[in-house]
Amino acid sequence: MTTIEEYASPVENQWCPGCPNFGILAALKRALVGLDLAPHEVCLVSGIGQAAKLPHYLKANVFNGLHGRAIPAAIGIHVANPKLKTIVTSGDGDLYGEGGNHLLHAFRRNPDITVVAHDNRIYALTKGQGSPTTPRGERTRLQFDGVQIDPAQMLATAIVHGCTFVARGFAGDIDNLSEILTRAIEHRGLALVDVIQPCITWGNHPVSWYRERVIPIPVEHDPTDRDRALALAIDVKDAFPVGVLYEIPPRSTFAASYRERVGDGPLYELPRIDRSIPEEHLARMRVGS
């Protein structure tokens, strides 16, 4: 059995003391241990930002790439080695802003990866500018008159694009979040978990403000009900339904036809193609009398 100690990282944590990111870290560790995944079986992929540092703070494989580009890197990793549990952990600015286009197309591809969006509704590492999810009207260190544009609705976008697992979590409720993350990691296909992670330094509301407004998704909610899931997804100012909004049976996952030809192991284990194949290709290029 994997233990929580195996996931302990020696790296000094750079987050602000008391940041709800610690809650996400704890919930993720708990989920991985609960699933009995050993650290070498997990690959954490992130972009840039405070949230994107998470992979360093637990012990598993890490690809901490470019700002906004965690999703394509994760897709490449997953195709090359589907035995790894590939999990993207990055912020709303990284995943929804800089890399929004990649996430949109990832929904269509449906690779078997988990995407955890630390949604603090602010750019924290660059000191307090508006993010794609900052509500209209909120004042920031750059939008001095208040944000003038509407927030991105990524959970709804995910549902509309056929993402087969869409959830909202709250960093302040580790028990519930680790349950959601467990289901997301187990799900076959792309799973998006947007985690409300109040920024205690640049945010406009304290954690308590969010805690008062987080409401569990009613137990009678049918997660295959797309219309109802959409209604729960679309951001409302004063209440945040938390839990699994949408979950449908996994459809065919990404790279399936290629995997039918080469098997499901890591690509580095495949031998080189037989020399007769390229020789045959070159022979076909020969023409003459």
Partner 1 sequence: MDRSIFVAGAAGEGIQTIGDVVARCFLAHGYPVFVTQEFESRIRGGNSSARIRVADEPRNATREEADVLLALNPVARERYADALRPDGLVISADTTTNGGNHLEIPFVSLATAHGGQELYANAVAAGALCAAVGLPFTALEGVLSSAFSKRGEEIVRANVAAGRAGFDRAVDQLRDRPVEGLPKRDASYAFASAHETLPVAAAVAGCRFISAYPMSPSTGIITAFARETDLGVFAEQAEDEIAAINMALGASAAGARAMTATSGGGFALMVEALSLAGMIETPIVIVLAQRPGPATGLPTRTAQEDLLFALRAGHGEFPRVVLAPSDPQEAIELTIRAFDLSDRYQVPAILLTDQYLADSRFSLDSLDLPTEIPGDHLADPEDFEVYRRYAPSATGISPRLPFGQGGRIVYIDSDEHTPEGHITEDLRSVRPAAVGKRLEKAGRLRREIRPPRTDRTDDAELILVGWGSTRYAIAEAVDLLRADGRKVGAVHFTELWPLPEVELREGAEYWTVEGNATGQLAQLLRGALGWPIEGTIGRSDGLPIGARFIVERIP
Nearest Cα to Cα of residue 35 among 70, 64, 72, 7: 7
For residues 88 and 108, what is the distance between their CA atoms, to the nearest angstrom?
17
Residue with smaller CB distance to partner 1, 219 or 282: 282
> 15 to 54, contacts with partner 1 by CB under 8 A?
38-43, 45, 48, 53
CA–CA distance, 251 with 119 (Å, rounded to integer): 27
When asked if residue 160 is in the footprint of partner 1 (CB under 8 A), the reply is: no
Q: How far is the CB of 273 from partner 1 (least distance, A)?
A: 5
Separation between Cα atoms, residue 265 and residue 271, nearest integer Å: 12
Q: 123 near 204, Cβ under 8 Å? A: no
By CB under 8 A, is residue 154 in contact with partner 1? no
Task: Report the amino acid identity of residue 173.
Answer: D
Residue numbers 248-267 binding partner 1 by CB under 8 A: 255, 258, 261-262, 266-267
CB of 18 to partner 1, least distance (A): 21
Q: Which of 54, 73, 122, 124 binds partner 1 (CB under 8 A)?
A: 73
| Range in contact with partner 1 (rule: CB under 8 A) among 74-82, 114-122, 136-144, 243-251 | 74-82
Q: For residues 27 and 29, what is the distance between their CA atoms, to the nearest angstrom?
A: 5
Number of residues lying near partner 1 (CB under 8 A) = 58
259/251 Cα distance (integer angstroms): 15
Asked whether position 195 contacts partner 1 by CB under 8 A, the answer is no
- Calculated CA dihedral for residues 259, 66, 96, 222, nearest 10 degrees: 40
| Site for partner 1, rule CB under 8 A | 11, 38-43, 45, 48, 53, 56, 59-66, 69, 71-81, 83-84, 101-102, 104-105, 255, 258, 261-262, 266-268, 270, 272-273, 275, 277-279, 281-282, 285-289
